[in-house]
Chains A and B, each alone.
Chain A
Amino acid sequence: MGDDYPTLFRSEQMSLMQFLIPTEVAHDTVAELGELGNVQFKDLNPAVNPFQRSFVGEIRRTEEMARRVRFFESQIQKEKDVVPIRPLYDSAPLVTVGPSAAHNIDELDVTLAEHETRLVQMNDSYKTLSERTRELVEARHVLRETAVFFEKAETQQTDIRTSFDDSSAPLLQHDDREQQYLSTVQFDLEFVAGTIDRTRISTFERVLWRVLRGNLYMNHTDITEPFVDPATGTETRKNVFIIFAHGDALLAKIRKVAESMGATLYPIDANADKRSDSLREVTARLEDLESVLYNTGVNRRSELLRIGENLARWQDVVRKEKAIYETMNLFNYDVRRKTLVAEGWVPTRDLVMIHMALRHATEESGTSVVPILQELDTNKTPPTFTRTNKFTEGFQTIMDAYGIATYQEVNPGLFAIVTFPFLFAVMFGDIGHGLIIFFAALYMIFQEKKWARQELDEILGQFFYGRYIILLMGVFSVYTGLMYNDIFSKSLHIWHSGWDFPEPESNGVSYAVSNGHMYPFGVDPAWHGADNGLVFTNSYKMKMSIVLGVIHMTFALCLQLPNHIKFKRPLDIYANFIPQMIFLQSIFGYLVVCILYKWSIDWSTRDTEPPSLLNMLIAMILSPGKVDATAQLYPGQGFIQVVLLLLAMVCVPWMLCMKPYFQWKEMQTIQGQGYVGVGHRNGGPRESTDEALEIEEEGNGRLIAEEMEEEHEHHDFSEVVIHQIIHTIEFCLGCISHTASYLRLWALSLAHAQLSEVLWSMTIEKFLGLSGIFGTIALVMVVVFWFSATVFILCIMEGLSAFLHALRLHWVEANSKHYQGEGYLFTPLSFAKLDEKE
């Protein structure tokens, strides 16, 4: 099909191309092909360890650069004030191809290394400075609080002795000063001062009490501000303590206990003047430190801002370079021709583009040697590539999620563009809800360009990806809403109704009378609000589900035909398609015909009662040929039903036996011929691709081995029989179960309609009658509640549910009739797609 244009009907034709690329041009060529995004390279060195491949060195370098870029990214993200990263579409590109490429990459490497060292340095010094600030703040607190204690202690009468504390805190260099004042200052008791975690203070006290047997005087106060750890951000609350004790041994014990409990000791001088000196000194140093800290912070931020300007560019370059070198590792170096050899799958249509890209790459790089492209013949299965645009992409993706289509089989995604929203709408039918989702989708489509650039979060991203699906779902829902005559659980009364309601009779019931009109488009509004409205709607919707279901399945079954014709499998047409079709139609097609026929008869003019179709079908199978004259649908029914039943029964052995029999006959003829020779079986020579580089003799040997394997498969006749048995049973049972499965179309639309009605009657209806200002306000509030419940429960929740069921109908009921789904996806080297992967 489609010689002029590829279509969605089948996946595109692919060719296996061999590229002969001179080594100088290799990098630029791969870069160009990556931008194009049309070639899927094969791995020509599958046996080689990743560490032994040719371009490991370059990859290592790019990995290092990538690590640095990731480090920058994490640093930027940790900043509380957002550092703007200049988006990629706004940055000037870094030239990575051409003669200046190597120089640019080297420069980039150096720049990244420089930035990293600077940033790491700044981080370290910031950390150190913060710690020192913290210690100084603690010291300041200790000095302040201990001043209070000392004032109290100075009222004591006993001797004052000097204290010599060794500085446990390295910052306060009081040693020299203390030596000076040693002889002059007298103090009462020796003491130990410091800070400790608030949670540990009581334990500390108790331990000290026990260790020193009460020979101590301890005082402590809270420090009001908590200390924030700069690395982790946790807050700790500390207390200042001062312990007075007598004697070196006791002091030593106190110090040991303090250190074991995690307290920090600070040397405090006994002299008040010296304490105020220390306080001033500490405050001054604190100010200095804070200004240094501030400057470091400012420098760091300006560094990060500079990095932010270029970060997106660097990420892009590093990613591309890594991809290029990884791809180049897949190539094989041909010693004879002294070039790199690459093989890749290319859509046949795009060959011209590839040629042009290669030429462009050569021009860019400045050399004059153009890479050579030649096509290889192969019997390997090509990947499946379906060219989609932004509209068809969503539909193709949801069908691909079930399984990738086999190379060039009929693509169900094409039909899903209409059948999926339609089946969704059958389950969702409501004009109002349909309009809501239609406008939501329309909004997303208008915001397309802007949103495509942003990083949307997972859920919104999913909805955005399916915006065209949702658009069509909305349109079809409005149509089915018109059919069901349902807008927010109310009915529209556009045309003349076919029923008139007279005055109610004695029991308060009003029976409608037909007035000859026929409501032309949709369900008559008279049924809305009728007591037996559900009886009618259920019957109508159930029969509709069966009719739509059988037609959908027949359509899917017919999709087998193009596949059999294209892949030249005429046996499958006679052995699979025809019996399947006859089986499906003779029972379920007949049911559909009966439904339509029963609807088309005016039963008031007939003598017989309208028969129940369900009983009719059951009787057809359980007691064929016997049709009660009073319950017949049409004369001659018994005979016709027997014929149909026999047809169906004949199809089962037909499906079971025909194909295995013919395959067995084929195998007999091949065995009779014997192994005539290489290549004769399929006619014509063929070149196995892996051997294109090796010497001819070896290639032939491989060929024979491959052939023998294929023969062995066929010899397993039991496999064929089993496969066909499974296929037959699956189809026949599937027919029945899938037909019943389509009843979910009825079930979900019933649930939706009922939910909608309940929501209205429980909310707005109750508030409609209220009057006055209070009533109006209440009504407005209830309307808001009703609308949000409509959007969240009825549109989103029910919508997702109907989406899922419609998808299941496509995947299981429809696809099982024709889909093989054994292909693999075409994953070209594409720089644009690298973005999406991250």
Chain B
Amino acid sequence: MASVIPVIFILAIVLGLMACGYLFVPKGPHQTTIRTAIMLTLASCYLMWMITYMAQLHPLITPYRSTKGGESL
């Protein structure tokens, strides 16, 4: 199940969103600021997601617990 395809797929989506962000921000005194902010946000959030996803794709170690069950909400 775990493969690299979602990474590439989401990358395509993010690139598309960045292009939209670049093209569809209206002209005005803040156009550059808004464009830069949108594109950088999309890029950095994607990067972080991509790294987190890929780190867990084929993990080299498996988790183990010595007590019964862990704490989770």
Q: Which A residues contact B (CB, under 8 angstroms)?
A: 1-2, 4-9, 389, 392, 414-415, 417-419, 422, 426, 479-480, 483, 487, 490-493, 498-499, 501, 504, 508-514, 516-533, 535-536, 539-540, 543-544, 547-548, 551, 596, 599-604, 610
Q: Across the interface, do B58 and A518 meet the contact criterion of CB distance under 8 Å?
A: no
| Min distance, Cβ B14 to any Cβ of chain A, angstroms | 14
Known A-B contacts A4-B27, A415-B36, A529-B71; A518 and B1 likewise in contact (beta carbons under 8 Å): yes
Contacts of A493 in B (CB 8 A): 72-73
CA distance A1 to B36 in the complex (A): 15
* CB proximity to A under 8 Å, residues B5-51: 6, 27-33, 36-37, 40-41, 44-45, 47-49, 51
**Closest chain B residue to A489, Cβ basis:** B71
Q: Across the interface, do B33 and A529 meet the contact criterion of CB distance under 8 Å?
A: no
Known A-B contacts A417-B36, A512-B62, A551-B47; A523 and B52 likewise in contact (beta carbons under 8 Å): yes
Query: Which of B28, B31, B48, B55 has the most chain A CB atoms closer than 10 A to its own CB?
Result: B48
**Closest chain A residue to B56, Cβ basis:** A524
Partner of A510, one of B48, B58, B65, B71: B65
CA distance A533 to B70 in the complex (A): 12
Q: Across the interface, do B73 and A523 meet the contact criterion of CB distance under 8 Å?
A: no
Known A-B contacts A414-B32, A418-B40, A530-B70; A600 and B63 likewise in contact (beta carbons under 8 Å): no
Partner of A512, one of B1, B6, B47, B64: B64
| Min distance, Cβ A790 to any Cβ of chain B, angstroms | 16
CA distance A531 to B64 in the complex (A): 6
Q: Across the interface, do B2 and A509 meet the contact criterion of CB distance under 8 Å?
A: no
Partner of B63, one of A487, A499, A508: A499
CA distance A536 to B37 in the complex (A): 32
**Closest chain B residue to A600, Cβ basis:** B4
Q: Across the interface, do A8 and B71 meet the contact criterion of CB distance under 8 Å?
A: no
Contacts of A419 in B (CB 8 A): 40, 44
Contacts of A504 in B (CB 8 A): 65-66, 68
A-B pairs, top 9 by smallest CB distance, nearest first, are A529-B70, A530-B63, A7-B32, A418-B40, A599-B54, A518-B2, A540-B55, A511-B64, A602-B58
**Closest chain B residue to A494, Cβ basis:** B73
Contacts of B44 in A (CB 8 A): 418-419, 422
Known A-B contacts A518-B57, A533-B63, A543-B55; A483 and B48 likewise in contact (beta carbons under 8 Å): yes
**Closest chain B residue to A545, Cβ basis:** B51
Partner of A529, one of B36, B61, B65: B65
Contacts of B56 in A (CB 8 A): 498, 518-519, 523-524, 540
Tally of contact residues, B, Cβ under 8 A: 43
| Min distance, Cβ A275 to any Cβ of chain B, angstroms | 87
CA distance A14 to B48 in the complex (A): 40
Partner of B65, one of A2, A501, A517, A601: A501
Q: Across the interface, do B32 and A8 meet the contact criterion of CB distance under 8 Å?
A: yes
**Closest chain A residue to B33, Cβ basis:** A8
**Closest chain A residue to B72, Cβ basis:** A491
Contacts of A536 in B (CB 8 A): 59, 61, 63
CA distance A514 to B61 in the complex (A): 11
**Closest chain B residue to A544, Cβ basis:** B51
Q: Across the interface, do A603 and B64 meet the contact criterion of CB distance under 8 Å?
A: no
Q: Across the interface, do A418 and B41 meet the contact criterion of CB distance under 8 Å?
A: yes
5 contacts between A and B (CB under 8 A): A418-B37, A524-B56, A536-B59, A599-B54, A600-B58
**Closest chain B residue to A389, Cβ basis:** B30
| Min distance, Cβ B2 to any Cβ of chain A, angstroms | 4
CA distance A554 to B25 in the complex (A): 26
**Closest chain A residue to B65, Cβ basis:** A510
Q: Across the interface, do B49 and A599 meet the contact criterion of CB distance under 8 Å?
A: no
**Closest chain A residue to B73, Cβ basis:** A490
Contacts of A422 in B (CB 8 A): 40-41, 44
Partner of B58, one of A511, A535, A539, A604: A604
Q: Across the interface, do A392 and B65 meet the contact criterion of CB distance under 8 Å?
A: no
Contacts of B64 in A (CB 8 A): 509-512, 530-532
CA distance A483 to B52 in the complex (A): 7
CA distance A533 to B52 in the complex (A): 15
CA distance A492 to B25 in the complex (A): 35
**Closest chain A residue to B29, Cβ basis:** A5
Contacts of B4 in A (CB 8 A): 600
CA distance A108 to B32 in the complex (A): 49
Q: Across the interface, do A529 and B62 meet the contact criterion of CB distance under 8 Å?
A: no
Contacts of B60 in A (CB 8 A): 603, 610
Q: Across the interface, do B32 and A600 meet the contact criterion of CB distance under 8 Å?
A: no
Contacts of A510 in B (CB 8 A): 64-66, 68
Query: Which of A418, A422, A514, A536 has the most chain B CB atoms closer than 10 A to its own CB?
Result: A418
| Min distance, Cβ A6 to any Cβ of chain B, angstroms | 7
Q: Across the interface, do B62 and A9 meet the contact criterion of CB distance under 8 Å?
A: no
Q: Across the interface, do B68 and A392 meet the contact criterion of CB distance under 8 Å?
A: no
Q: Across the interface, do B54 and A9 meet the contact criterion of CB distance under 8 Å?
A: no
CA distance A511 to B62 in the complex (A): 7
CA distance A595 to B13 in the complex (A): 23
Q: Across the interface, do B36 and A599 meet the contact criterion of CB distance under 8 Å?
A: no
Q: Across the interface, do A509 and B72 meet the contact criterion of CB distance under 8 Å?
A: no
Q: Across the interface, do A599 and B47 meet the contact criterion of CB distance under 8 Å?
A: no
Known A-B contacts A414-B32, A414-B36, A599-B57; A531 and B65 likewise in contact (beta carbons under 8 Å): yes
CA distance A526 to B62 in the complex (A): 10
Other contacts beyond A422-B44, A490-B72: 6, CB < 8 A: A5-B29, A5-B31, A7-B31, A490-B73, A519-B56, A600-B54
| Min distance, Cβ B33 to any Cβ of chain A, angstroms | 5
Partner of A540, one of B30, B33, B40, B52: B52
Contacts of A509 in B (CB 8 A): 64-66
CA distance A480 to B52 in the complex (A): 10
Contacts of A480 in B (CB 8 A): 48
Q: Across the interface, do B72 and A525 meet the contact criterion of CB distance under 8 Å?
A: yes
**Closest chain B residue to A599, Cβ basis:** B54
CA distance A7 to B27 in the complex (A): 11
CA distance A414 to B4 in the complex (A): 33
Contacts of B55 in A (CB 8 A): 539-540, 543-544, 599
Q: Across the interface, do B51 and A547 meet the contact criterion of CB distance under 8 Å?
A: yes
Contacts of B47 in A (CB 8 A): 547-548, 551
CA distance A516 to B2 in the complex (A): 7
CA distance A6 to B32 in the complex (A): 9
**Closest chain B residue to A6, Cβ basis:** B29
Known A-B contacts A5-B28, A533-B63; A600 and B72 likewise in contact (beta carbons under 8 Å): no
Query: Which of B28, B55, B67 has the most chain A CB atoms closer than 10 A to its own CB?
Result: B55
CA distance A492 to B71 in the complex (A): 10
CA distance A547 to B6 in the complex (A): 19
CA distance A203 to B65 in the complex (A): 82
Contacts of B48 in A (CB 8 A): 426, 479-480, 483, 544, 548
CA distance A501 to B67 in the complex (A): 11
